[in-house]
């Protein structure tokens, strides 16, 4: 699914002066591509994906979600064809792994045998075969992250929205999950919007990086990541990776400084 946003504005009313989170965002997120949203804290990255996911309503602007393979079909509503994966996994501790993964299908009324069959397929895909009946408390952090990813994928929506899903992981586990995501992306080719603060992560997994300014969030530049797939951590040591890293760092450095200044002024 294509996601087209035009002149998107979001203003939060704090009871005094409104806080302008997004200011005139326009972009065409193309079907089957993984886009990383990169910017300083408070620039509106999460707000943007929540608007795309139908969780928040934009103050103004347009959003169109269309199927490029069926251009005459009516556009979908925000959130209608997407699923969100949060940093906070929100797994149910009283349910085992397979029942956590199959929860969405259960709520849709899918029969137990059918939803279990699909859940087992996805658990094998994310490397958790034979862990179906373990409790989530028995799993490592990385394994719980895989459960959350399988739970999102089981709903079979064409758009996957990911809000810093790997931020809480240790460095080694994060590397594995980044490579796991790129492998699954190559297989399923969903339209993915991935929020991150990490330049290396954005380059490693993304087809493009949307660099955003400090608040109010605007698009500063869009960087195409034309590195071959599949990608592994070894790519980080390549000259091509280094050039992209330096370019994005140059773009983002001033925005981070501006965001820090805004935070200092807010508490002064």
* Higher-scoring residue by pLDDT: 87, 151: 151
Distance CA 268, CA 259 (A): 14
The residues, any chain, with a CB within 8 Å of residue 162's CB and separated by 6 or more, are 49, 84, 85, 192, 193, 194, 195
Half-sphere exposure of 125 (CA within 13 A, CB side): 23
Cis peptide leading into 35, omega within 30 of 0? no
Pairing of strands 159-163, 82-85: parallel
For the chain, list the strands marked E by DSSP.
2-12, 19-29, 34-38, 60-66, 82-85, 159-163, 191-196, 208-212, 219-224
* pLDDT exceeds 70 at position 155: yes
Distance CA 75, CA 64 (A): 6
**56-90: pLDDT as tens digits:** 999 999 999 999 988 888 889 999 999 999 878 78
pTM: 0.93
Instruction: Report the chain's mean pLDDT, rounded to a whole number.
Output: 92
Long-range contacts of 223-227 (CB under 8 A, 24+ apart): 223/247, 223/248, 223/251, 227/203
pLDDT reported for residue 16: 65
* pLDDT exceeds 90 at position 265: no
Q: Does residue 40 contact residue 217 with C-beta atoms inside 8 Å? A: no
pLDDT reported for residue 15: 58
Q: Does residue 38 contact residue 212 with C-beta atoms inside 8 Å? A: yes
pLDDT reported for residue 19: 86
The residues, any chain, with a CB within 8 Å of residue 54's CB and separated by 6 or more, are 77, 78, 79, 80, 82
The residues, any chain, with a CB within 8 Å of residue 42's CB and separated by 6 or more, are 214, 215, 259, 262, 263
Distance CA 262, CA 16 (A): 17
Task: Determine which of 10-19, 89-98, 107-116, 128-137 has the lowest per-residue pLDDT on average.
Answer: 10-19
* pLDDT exceeds 70 at position 177: yes
* Dihedral sign for Cα atoms in the order 240, 243, 244, 245: positive
pLDDT reported for residue 268: 61
* pLDDT exceeds 90 at position 98: yes
**120-150: pLDDT as tens digits:** 999 999 989 999 999 999 999 889 999 999 9
* Higher-scoring residue by pLDDT: 205, 89: 205
Distance CA 198, CA 37 (A): 10
Q: Where are the domains of the chain?
A: 2-81+157-267, 95-156
* pLDDT exceeds 80 at position 172: yes
Q: Strand, helix or coil at 94? A: coil
Distance CA 35, CA 37 (A): 7
* Higher-scoring residue by pLDDT: 89, 175: 175
What burial letters (b/e) apply to 180-200, b meaning 16+ CB within 10 Å? bbbbbbeeeebbbbbbbbbbb
Distance CA 135, CA 96 (A): 4
Q: Which fold has domain 2-81+157-267?
A: Rossmann fold (3.40.50)
**13-68: pLDDT as tens digits:** 865 677 889 999 999 999 999 999 999 988 999 999 999 999 999 999 999 999 99
């Amino acid at each position: 699914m294509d996601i087209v946003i035009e002149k998107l504005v979001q203003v939060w009313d704090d009871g005094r002066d409104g806080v302008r989170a997004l200011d005139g965002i326009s972009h065409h997120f193309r079907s089957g591509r993984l886009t990383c949203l990169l910017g300083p804290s408070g620039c509106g990255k999460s707000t943007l994906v929540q608007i795309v996911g139908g969780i928040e309503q934009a103050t103004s602007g347009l959003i169109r979600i269309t199927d490029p393979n069926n251009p005459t079909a009516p556009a979908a509503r925000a959130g209608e064809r997407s699923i969100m994966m949060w940093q906070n996994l929100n797994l149910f501790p009283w349910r085992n792994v397979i029942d956590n993964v199959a929860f969405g299908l259960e709520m849709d009324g899918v029969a137990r045998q059918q939803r279990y069959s699909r859940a087992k397929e996805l658990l094998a895909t994310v490397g958790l075969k034979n862990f179906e009946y373990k409790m989530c408390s028995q799993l490592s952090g990385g394994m719980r992250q895989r459960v959350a990813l399988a739970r999102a994928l089981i709903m079979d929506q064409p758009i996957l929205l990911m809000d810093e899903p790997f931020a809480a992981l240790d460095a080694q586990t994060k590397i594995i999950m980044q490579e796991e995501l790129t492998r699954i992306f190559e297989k399923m080719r969903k339209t993915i919007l991935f929020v991150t603060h990490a330049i290396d992560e954005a380059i490693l997994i993304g087809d493009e990086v949307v660099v955003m300014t400090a608040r109010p969030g605007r698009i500063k530049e869009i960087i195409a990541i034309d590195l071959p797939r599949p990608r592994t951590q070894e790519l980080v040591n390549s000259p091509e990776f280094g050039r992209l890293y330096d370019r994005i760092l140059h773009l983002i450095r001033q925005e981070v400084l501006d965001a820090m200044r805004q935070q200092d002024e807010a508490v002064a």
